[in-house]
Amino acid sequence: MKLTKIQIERLVRKIFDELAANKIVTYKSPEEKVILRAIEYISADYDKERELERDARKMLEDIERQHTTGELDRHKMLQMIKRKLAEERKIIL
């Protein structure tokens, strides 16, 4: 799923608003600082996933160039490559 920075911020704010409204979370630091930190973490994780997707697609293109005979299930191969890269990079999809 592709999210913009604004969508990520809205999502984080909505989650923290709900947590605070239901008294599930209390802040030891200023609320805004906590929210900004959460936005940073989620954005960084999202960037890692986009990089993984880009690398997987590049690897698939390389495989397709080398594999000229027969047909490849492009979607299945992409998912396999992404899973393997995620495992190697310790990324949870």
Alpha-carbon Rg for the chain, nearest whole angstrom, is 19
pLDDT at 1: 64
* Total domains in the fold of the chain: 1
pLDDT at 87: 95
pLDDT at 23: 92
Residue type, 55: D
Task: Please classify residue 62 by burial: count the beta carbons closer than 10 Å to its beta carbon, then call 0-12 exposed, 13-18 middle and 19+ buried.
Answer: exposed
**70 lies in which domain range?**
5-89
- Scanning 1-93, the segments in alpha helix (DSSP H) are 5-21, 31-66, 74-89
Q: What is the pTM of this model?
A: 0.74
pLDDT at 42: 94
Which residues of the chain register pLDDT less than 50?
none
